[in-house]
Structure 1
Amino acid sequence: MTDDPFVVHRSLLFTVAYEMLGSAADAEDVLQETWLRWADVDRSQVREPRAYLVRAVTRQSLNRLRSLSRSREDYVGEWLPEPLLTSPDVAEDVELAESVSIAVLTVLETLGPTERAVFVLREVFDMPYGEIAEAIGKSQVAVRQIARRAREHVAARRPRVQVSRSEKQAVVERFLTALRTGKLQELLEVMAPDVVLVTDGGGLVAAALEPIHGADAVAPILARANRVVDALETTTVWLNGAPAGRIEFDGTPAAVSLEVEDGRVTRIYVVRNPHKLTRLDELADLAR
């Protein structure tokens, strides 16, 4: 039924789960579990279906996040969120676009499960403290304290400067051109001296196991990428609400997201883990 509240609010529910988990695959599993539970609910007893479903997805996401914590600790190399193909329209909602950015999702990964849930529900979806308290099984006083700590934690680590879409797109295109041509000087010019490269191969494909710091170290690595494959193709795409890049190494895809400041790249996130690249051809439907 198209008027079923679960169907009506599915995009919102997926976005909540994705922001809490950083994984579209895990978010879909949470939605499936929530749907099965929703199917058994007496709808006549549910006064506010939207709030009820958000609480249900939050609880399922928390359970999933806690069960995933050990596997992420054992993850080979750096763990990055699963990139999502989005339309440029997502960027129109600035707060939503920022909250689903690879940069912010990576910061959220440094929060504990409860702190992450509170931050997402309060800061992104503006849920009342009382509803959050009910969703996570804490008092309102505790939720307010958790929200403050999480907000301060994220604020200290999120990108310092917000740039316009047009500026970021121009820098992304310059970076991808330099990467495609493999010209060292062009790569150095488009990157900040203190740039950081983070790559995620999941132990399945070649990737640095730790972040690489500094343009003098990063640029030669990127320049070599052009020479070690027969064909390197780059395309500007929209990932997680922002201009980004899709790279094909001899037909094998990778996703590249950038942080930009003062016209130069300050941070490069490269996802090569094939399990996280299955949605690069499928437009994600995100909503608040």
Structure 2
Amino acid sequence: MPMDPTAPPTVPPPPDDTATFAALRPRLFAIAYRMLGTRADAEDLVQDAWLRWHRTPDKAALQSAEAWLVTTVTRLAIDRLRAAKTEREAYIGWWLPEPLVAAVDERTPEAALALAGELSLAFLWVLERLTPDERAAFLLRQVFDHDYAEIATMLGRSEAACRQLVHRASERVQQQRPRFEVPPARHRQLLERFMHAAHTGAHAQMKALLADDVQLLGDGGGKVPSFGHVLEGPERVTNLYWAQWKRLGEQVRYRLVSLNGEPGLLRYVSGRLESAQAFVIDDQGRIAAIYAVRNPDKLAGIPGEL
């Protein structure tokens, strides 16, 4: 049917504010979580961004809703991280990020989040060494693929300053991050072997799966006992797992899960969640580092019973 040339032009309906925000929420949470390392803080920050978005009067005048929201979340995260730095300096023991856990191969928001870029506990642990501005610039550039002009606008800095932030951050990350990435299937198989050895108290088998320079970091947050220093060496790490098996036997169970997008283990004692454990694998196919989160506050989002 031919169009009536005298009819007024069709004006598309204005975008639904709620729908726009909902579509961008996973990306906003991904940025906030990588900046702050805790689910609760990231969710609070995204909620704060929603309130600011809801109160913004003339959204139609914005060139990009995504740019506005990413800028808002990034700046809120920088402020929140600056405050958190002081709190974490007073934290009892090692501060590790709060793990995001899903069943292996389960399609969940956490699993989808892992596809957006690096998420591992080891990676987030390295990011803790950066300043808030370095962390934001590095993530926006290297993980979320924003160009320097966008980053400069988001951070309120010059492009040259942002390039320098990313350069410094990249150097520090490369110095400390694992240099070998293991295929997920191989990572999972190694953890299955380690899990079986730990569950049966097979001391020699456990030790054989550990690198000569293996390290274990535990985060109890002063709420539960944990090491105040890094546990080093295959003998000491093996003895830790073996001693728990010797003392508690069948009361200790392990579950293989997806932990921050990588295979990891949940350890249960008497049916109750005791720790979430992330593993770094070296180029020899051995366990090079273990990050054990035991602080109950950081385990609250994980099913507490086996």
Give the alignment's TM-score, normalised by structure 1: 0.92
Gap change, CA 1:255 and 1:75, over 3 Å in 2: same
- Cα distance in 2 for partners of 1:94, 1:275 equals 22
Instruction: Determine the structure 1 residue equivalent to 2:43.
Output: 28
Within-5 A mapping of 1:1-288: 4-41=19-56, 42-86=58-102, 88=105, 96=116, 99-229=118-248, 231-253=251-273, 254-261=275-282, 262-281=284-303
Gap change, CA 1:126 and 1:278, over 3 Å in 2: same
Rg comparison, structure with higher value: 2
Instruction: Determine the structure 2 residue equivalent to 1:286.
Output: none
- Cα distance in 2 for partners of 1:27, 1:8 equals 17
Deviation at 1:179, TM superposition (A): 1.5
Deviations 1:4-32 (A, max 9, x none): 22111111100000001111111011111
Deviation at 1:92, TM superposition (A): 9.1
Identity %: 38
Structure 2 letter corresponding to 1:259: V
Instruction: Please provide the CA RMSD for this pair.
Output: 2.0
Deviation at 1:152, TM superposition (A): 1.1
Deviation at 1:141, TM superposition (A): 0.7
- Cα distance in 1 for partners of 2:111, 2:178 equals 16
- Cα distance in 1 for partners of 2:99, 2:115 equals 18
Give the conservation status (yes or no) of the 8 Å contact 1:91–1:242: no
- Cα distance in 2 for partners of 1:141, 1:236 equals 45
Deviation at 1:2, TM superposition (A): 8.4
Runs (5+) with no aligned partner, structure 1: 283-288
Gap change, CA 1:211 and 1:260, over 3 Å in 2: same
Structure 1 letter corresponding to 2:190: V
Runs (5+) with no aligned partner, structure 2: 1-15
- Cα distance in 2 for partners of 1:226, 1:135 equals 51
- Cα distance in 1 for partners of 2:287, 2:245 equals 19
- Cα distance in 2 for partners of 1:130, 1:228 equals 58
Deviation at 1:45, TM superposition (A): 2.0
Gap change, CA 1:58 and 1:208, over 3 Å in 2: same
Give the alignment's TM-score, normalised by structure 2: 0.87
Deviations 1:31-73 (A, max 9, x none): 1111111110121122211111111100110110011111100
Relative contact order: is structure 1 or structure 2 higher (C-alpha 8 Å, sep ≥ 6)?
1
Report how many aligned residue pairs link the two structures: 281
* Helix, strand or coil at the partner of 1:79: coil
